[in-house]
Structure 1
Amino acid sequence: MKHLNFLSFLLALVLVPASAQSTSEGYTDRPEFDDFVDGMVREHGFDADKLSQWLAEARHQERIIELISSPAEHTLQWHEYRAIFIKPERISQGADFLRQHQDAFDRAEEAFGVPREVIAAIIGVETWYGRYMGSYRVVDALSTLAFDYPPRSRFFRSELEQFFLMAREQGFEPSRLKGSYAGAMGYGQFIASSYRHYAVDFDGDDVVDILDNPVDAIGSVANYFDEHRWRPGGPVAIRLDNDIQVPERMMTRELRPRFTVSDFREAGVSLPDSLAGDEPARIIRLEADDGPQWWLTGHNFYVITRYNHSHLYAMAVQELAGELAKELETVAESGVGE
């Protein structure tokens, strides 16, 4: 999905309206504008006048540059990041969301093999189950980043291209779509290229709508994980003893696991017997409010980081999913709803 750090300043998106950060500057007088329009007409058959009209309405948003330059995943410790997402109200409302859409979650688990609590946790972390899906016009966000953010301009010009293709395919009016500061949309905060590649029509109405349709969003998140090779029943993250000793050479920075469980065992690291030796594994150290924590993360943890390239993000999803599973179990044991 090439998912970005879309959650970093979710509260800022709520508290600071996009309109308050816009300027009158457009993009029609920029050479990049003509190049982009010409390419869309030549390669995808867009109407030049209509496309120019949409882009002429796009406005630079300085606040977007500020937000994308300081993502929370790069500035917060684990205990600070965790506190944003693991809250009683987010857990209880997540359980409500799971019960409300039980049929969709049943079908998603059966079709894709992804646990319902993981799907719900993604939506819960991304948008609080659809409550906060972003206040920026996507055309403003992507234009700002495509033309005024040199570090990632090539990527965001591609996303701007994908956005117009997506809007045409789904019959959406581009100027009306809103999302995050990085152009992510809907319940699961898909960027445009991910929308086109992974979003699915999960309710059979012949429209792929993750913007307003939670059923399509549930199926689409599950499909994304399936396409990135989620392993049903595989481990995500397991807490290890605080006194564990891990060779420095095995404490890797990249998200993709370089070692296996057997590699760690051979290096003298004590791991649970239940773990298969050939399971890809990475051990991470997190700063909790009561001191450091050690976690062994598996292939499925890596799959979560394909949604957002941060181990803090994946841990937040893992922990929220665990809390949702416990909440459902508690409700089931109490017989509520029977």
Structure 2
Amino acid sequence: MKTYLFILILAVSHHALAKVDLRQVDAFIDQTAAELNLEPQWVRSIVSQAKHQQSIIDAMNRPAEKVLQWHDYRNIFLTDKRTLEGVDFWNKHEAVIDQVVEQSGVPAEVIVAIIGVETFYGRIKGNHKVLDALYTLAFDYPKRSKFFTKELKNFIQLAHEQHINPLEAKGSYAGAMGYGQFMPSSYRAYAVDYEADQVIDLINNPQDAIASVANYLNKHKWKSGGAVLRQVTKPSVEMKFNQLKPHQKDHKTQAEYTVLQLDMADGSQQYWQGFHNFYVISRYNHSHMYVMAVYQLAEAIKAARQEVSS
């Protein structure tokens, strides 16, 4: 019996290793060390401890944005609890948010709503090791291997620059980190040191996270005072709108010509026209259901806060 179990364990281990071509891993280590001017042995000491996780592949193949209808997706994020905790988060960080809004032009409710949708205001940041997630997706997810290989390289560089422990950092199954769930490349490109203390910490510091979410939207050309969405009647053919189902990802169409069709719980449909800032939020997450959830949560938080203060 013990011999059988030993053979079974070896078989399972071999199956897990077989999913990753170790020659590709070695080539990645050498290339990354050379490109980033890092000690090869240091890079290898990190990557060699990464573990392939089949659960990450499974999660990537069934994201909520692809398997849920709008009314189910909406019920996850548009709750009284998430709205009221959004008000609390806003009040707690009001001084920081006010300053960030003035500098970026991005409304407070949108900043708060993104953090609310992404991590429930920092409560749910993800339990996957970022290293495992990026390693698995870089070397065993062919359709997006190029993207995640780049993100793994950025993660190693980020660990070197910001002294993040690459073996301990946790995030989403896609390797996103912190309050705002930034991928490593976005972390390096858009993260802000709000307190000017020479440390950019999006994982534990909500002030850096607030400033970074706003900076991300600002750098993607947020229009201060501009609209995000408005509800419209069903578009006619003559209107020449590009009608999209919420699962679709449209990167080329001008936002002003996009109408989002949402399936409601009673079987009816709603139609919402997107504007430029709709497109900007979609740079954060390309799912149109995600943008709608952020928009509606932002409006709910803003209304609840005004009601409390009135």
Identify whether the pair has TM-score above 0.5, normalized to the shorter chain: yes
The Cα offsets for residues 254-308 of structure 1, whole Å up to 9 and x where unpaired, read as 5357468xxxxxxxxxxxxxxxxxxx34222111113100111100011111000
Q: Aligned-pair RMSD on alpha carbons?
A: 2.0
1:28 and 1:149 map into 2 onto residues whose CA distance is 10
Match of 1:305 in 2: 282
Match of 2:194 in 1: 202
> Which of 258, 265, 272 is the aligned partner of 1:289?
265
User: TM-score normalised to the size of structure 1?
Assistant: 0.82
User: Which one has a larger percent helix, Structure 1 or Structure 2?
Assistant: 2
Match of 1:255 in 2: 250
1:33 and 1:214 map into 2 onto residues whose CA distance is 35
- Structure 1 residue 106, shift from structure 2 partner: 0.3
The Cα offsets for residues 121-158 of structure 1, whole Å up to 9 and x where unpaired, read as 00000000000000011000000000111111111100
- Structure 1 residue 29, shift from structure 2 partner: 7.1
Distance 1:145 1:256, change over 3 A: closer
Match of 2:49 in 1: 57
> Which of 292, 304, 308 is the aligned partner of 1:327?
304
Which consecutive unaligned segments of at least 5 residues does structure 1 have?
A: 1-21, 261-279, 334-338
Which consecutive unaligned segments of at least 5 residues does structure 2 have?
A: 1-11
2:177 and 2:213 map into 1 onto residues whose CA distance is 13
8 Å CA contact 1:113, 1:226 repeated in 2? yes
Match of 1:115 in 2: 107
Distance 1:297 1:314, change over 3 A: same
Distance 1:28 1:72, change over 3 A: closer
2:26 and 2:306 map into 1 onto residues whose CA distance is 57
Is 1:169 matched with 2:161?
yes
Paired residues, number: 292
Distance 1:77 1:62, change over 3 A: same
8 Å CA contact 2:235, 2:241 repeated in 1? no
8 Å CA contact 1:54, 1:175 repeated in 2? yes
Is 1:245 matched with 2:236?
yes
2:139 and 2:20 map into 1 onto residues whose CA distance is 11
Distance 1:104 1:247, change over 3 A: same
Identity %, equivalent residues: 45
Is 1:236 matched with 2:228?
yes
Match of 2:117 in 1: 125
SS of 1:175's equivalent in the other structure is coil
8 Å CA contact 2:222, 2:277 repeated in 1? yes
